[in-house]
Structure 1
Amino acid sequence: MDADSPAAPDFGPGAVVEGDVLLHLGSPTREQRALAAGTALAPLASRTVLTVSGPDRLSWLDSITSQALTMLSPGESAELLVLDPQGHVEHAAGIVDDGEIAWLVVDRSRAEALRAWLTRMRFRLRVEIVDATPTHRVVGGTRAAVADLAADAVWHDPWPGIGVGGWGYAPADPHPGVEYDWAEAIVPVAEAERLAAAAVAGDQALAGELAADALRVAAWRPRAEREADGRTLPHEVDWLRTAVHLEKGCYRGQETVAKVHNLGHPPRRLVALQLDGSDAVLPAPGADVALAGEDGDVVGTVTSVARHHDEGPIALAIIKRTTPVDAPLTVATDDGVVAAAQETIVPPDAGRTASVPRLPRLSRRR
């Protein structure tokens, strides 16, 4: 745990905590089922909150991010990306505005970098950015499960719906995330401590972050901390669904977003992997993904790994666009390679949606 991390609450005997992150309470599989059913809540120490206040907050965030936010209503949830000038994902945030404050839910590992960048971009606008980590915590669960918490705001994850101005690439019908019911409540520290005390007393079921992440991976839901490696384009992980408005005004990286979507193809694509579950070994994020065979070429990298209560060992990986969709793959582990069957999330022909008219060829006069 780094010096700036909050102290971990006491979650009782059996809790496995890494730093201040509750990984599980003895049975990640059972916790997944309870979390999905809405009978458990997940304290999410790996997530934190930035607040943006001031009368210019929504128009300002609209001008510097991928999402259209000027008309965001109080209580309405959305998702935004901060891109670099070449269109690569630098940051992602869930946003909910209460009429006075825009609450940004972000991966804690990237929160300080995002806060610093937003602060540099204020210029003379009437906005104030505050890191709410000392005063607030994030608790995840179904919409119904978090509704009873004493929350200052609740972000309802729009995934996998296709928002206004968005675009979905995944060909699966129905999308495996169609039943992904997820919300993140922003609660004061006192409410988070009450929740932990209720769990110790046996009055509240909790789930660890391993359970929450397994539900995310099964829903093909990208996360900045995992799927954004510095080169990731939103198109490569199907993030145009929820986090990009293709018809809004100019913002940093917008030219690349439009060009790839309308005229090109993203160079890489996200796939879901069903891993051989005959062994207990799971690959680590960052593991090589290769074509099956003795001389199989490395075609990508694992980004997220989980052991799902129904599907078994699963992963998300970013691979080369040109990798055949039916190619058997392998994933490297410390104990050798494991077989992996891929399922298409972003197809190789994603993009190139514009109908570019052919110019008539002029005949040469004789």
Structure 2
Amino acid sequence: MMDWIAATGGRQEAAYRVTFDTADAPRLALDATVITPLAHLGVLDVEGPDAESFLQGQTSAQVSLADGEFAPLTCFCTPKGRMLANAQLLRVAPTHYRLLMHASLVAPLAEHLKKFAPFYKVELRERDDLALLGLIGHEAAALAEVRFDLLPPRPWHQAGDAQHQVLAHPGPRPRLLICLPVEQVEQAWQWLKTHATPVDNAVWRLHDIQSGLAWLEAEQRDTYLPQMLNWEALGGISFKKGCYTGQEVVARAHFRGQVKKRLVRAQLDGGLLPEAGSAIEDADDRRLGEVLCAELDAYGEAEVLAVMSTREPALPLRCAGQKLKPLKLPYPVERLDPESLAARE
């Protein structure tokens, strides 16, 4: 549990969920500007003279692209190419990098990376002293600019200094993620909530789903190739960098077209939220894949991201006793080089 959540007036529940008494929060976020504590996300810092070279050998990102403006997606893999964590990488200072990921993976990833840290001048720190807030809506940019004097130019970019960072994320509505010290949360929240309505962090998670963006959780680690989460279509893999752990398998899967499962977006025809790992089956009772994450949308129906076989299914599909209807992803499932994202105006 996170002590700083109390400063927002939210109630933290199991599974990293924070709730408020705001009615119809997903629908409210369609038109109004809303704010939420991102209790499901966490921070791992990598700092020291060798931080860049240390990360370069472990992560799918070209670390030099994280220049204090562009903040690329990345992932960490086993030698067999299975993802241990996926994250967003930002640079706080020349020798100070920050990784944002699901909170349940901060400690496991730190433990994994510590096996390699003795060979580098680098320190790993789990940042429980930082808080993450999310703003959604057309007034989000104006609020961040007035309150923090920070405004990133476009998705997967950052603005900030050593104390505060603001990152733009994609979504059906403008979204900003704010990273700040926990002792500043109460004052910042009180100001922001006079201009934005507090909502459950499920609303932010829903916008991730609608963006086709899945964050692995601890129980899902060491299961999927990055391409199974469409990570190369989101710019999360650099195929132009040198070796990193798992690189050979990831590259072979890409260049030989050996990815037999893909991330899909779908909607269920009822209000029952399936648990992560729930099976998706076709009309012949064949298991095609499983749910990664799910949230209720503005109409009370469950939207999900799932990893599914790319083979043609026998329709109709179902999950957790409900009919499953595929939805369109907001991006093409094809390689997007992070180098082009960094340079794009």
Does the pair score TM above 0.5? yes
| Contact 1:222-1:239 at 8 Å conserved across structures | no
The alignment's C-alpha RMSD in Å is 3.1
Instruction: Report whether the alignment pairs 1:283 with 2:277.
Output: no
For 2:287, the equivalent position in structure 1 comes to: 298
* Partner in structure 2 of residue 62 of structure 1: 56
**Contact 1:43–1:209 under 8 Å retained in 2:** yes
User: Match of 1:296, as an amino acid?
Assistant: D
Q: Corresponding residue for 2:225?
A: 233
1:350 CA drift (Å): 7.2
Q: Shift in Å at residue 44 of structure 1?
A: 1.1
Q: Does the CA contact (< 8 Å) of 1:48 and 1:106 recur in 2?
A: yes
- 8 Å contact 1:153–1:185 — kept in the other structure? yes
1:24 to 19, 22, 25: 19
* Structure 1 spans left out of the alignment, 5+ residues: 160-176, 352-366
Q: For 2:209 and 2:274, how far apart are their aligned partners in 1?
A: 14
* Deviation for aligned residue 1:116: 1.6
Q: Is the 8 A contact 2:17 2:40 kept in 1?
A: no
Residue 182 of structure 1 deviates from its aligned partner by 3.1
User: 1:254/1:65 Cα in 2 relative to 1: closer, same or farther (>3 Å)?
Assistant: same
Aligned to 2:201: 209
Q: Which residue of the partner structure matches residue 242 of structure 1?
A: 235
1:122 aligns with 2:117: yes
**Greater CA drift, 121-130 or 78-87:** 121-130
Shift of 1:156: 2.6
Give yes or no for the alignment of 1:191 onto 2:184: yes
Contact 2:267 2:325 in 1 (8 A): yes
Count matched residues.
Answer: 315
What secondary structure is seen at the aligned counterpart in 2 of 1:130? strand
Task: Tell me what 1:154 maps to.
Answer: 165
Question: Which residue, out of 39, 42, 61, partners 1:48?
Answer: 42
Residue from 81, 102, 106 that aligns with 2:101: 106
In the alignment, which residue of structure 1 is the partner of 2:131?
A: 137
For the Cα contact (< 8 Å) 2:72–2:236, is it kept in 1?
A: yes
Report whether the alignment pairs 1:9 with 2:6.
Answer: yes
In the superposition, the TM-score normalised over structure 1's length comes to 0.76
- How far off its partner does 1:232 sit? 0.7
AA aligned opposite 1:41: I
Match of 1:272 in 2: 265
Aligned pair partner of 1:328 in 316, 320, 323: 316
Which secondary structure does the structure 2 equivalent of 1:114 belong to? helix
1-structure distance, mates of 2:176, 2:214 = 15
In structure 1, C-alpha distance between the alignment counterparts of 2:50 and 2:43, rounded to whole Å:
19
Rate the CA distance shift 1:74–1:124 in 2: closer, same or farther, 3 A.
same
Give per-residue Cα distances to partners, 1:281-317, cap 9 Å, x unaligned.
Answer: 232222111113xx42222111111111268421111
Q: 1:217, 1:305 within 8 Å by CA — same for their partners in 2?
A: yes
In 2, the alpha carbon distance for the partners of 1:16 and 1:124 equals 42
Map of 1:339 onto structure 2: 323
Query: Residues 27 and 323 (structure 1 numbering): CA distance in 2 closer, same or farther, change over 3 Å?
Result: farther
Structure-2 separation of matches of 1:82 and 1:264: 21
| In structure 2, C-alpha distance between the alignment counterparts of 1:271 and 1:20, rounded to whole Å | 23
- Structure 2 unaligned residues grouped into runs of 5+: 149-159, 336-345
Identity of aligned residues (%): 22
Partner residue of 1:72 out of 55, 66, 72: 66
1:76 shift after superposition: 2.9
Letter in 1 for 2:105: R
Deviation of 1:195 after TM superposition, in Å, equals 3.9
Q: How far apart, in 2, do the equivalents of 1:237 and 1:184 lie?
A: 22
The letter of the residue matching 2:122 is V
**TM-score of the pair, normalised by structure 2:** 0.80
| Match runs of 1:353-364 below 5 Å | none
Which secondary structure state, in structure 1, belongs to the residue aligned with residue 248 of structure 2? helix
Q: Which amino acid counterpart does residue 339 of structure 1 have in structure 2?
A: K
| Pair 186,263 (structure 1): closer, same or farther in 2 beyond 3 Å | same
1:55 Cα deviation after fit? 2.1
Return the index of the structure with the highest Cα Rg: 1
Task: Please tell me whether the aligned partners of residues 95 and 103 of structure 1 are also in contact (alpha carbons under 8 angstroms).
Answer: yes
Corresponding residue of 1:364: none
Indicate the larger mover: 242-251 or 73-82: 73-82
Q: Is the partner of 2:57 in helix, strand or coil?
A: helix
Residue of structure 2 in register with 1:315 after alignment: 304
**CA separation of 1:127 and 1:28: change in aligned 2, threshold 3 A:** farther
Question: Counterpart of 1:237 in structure 2: which amino acid?
Answer: L
Contact 1:66 1:244 in 2 (8 A): yes
2:197 alignment partner, SS class: coil
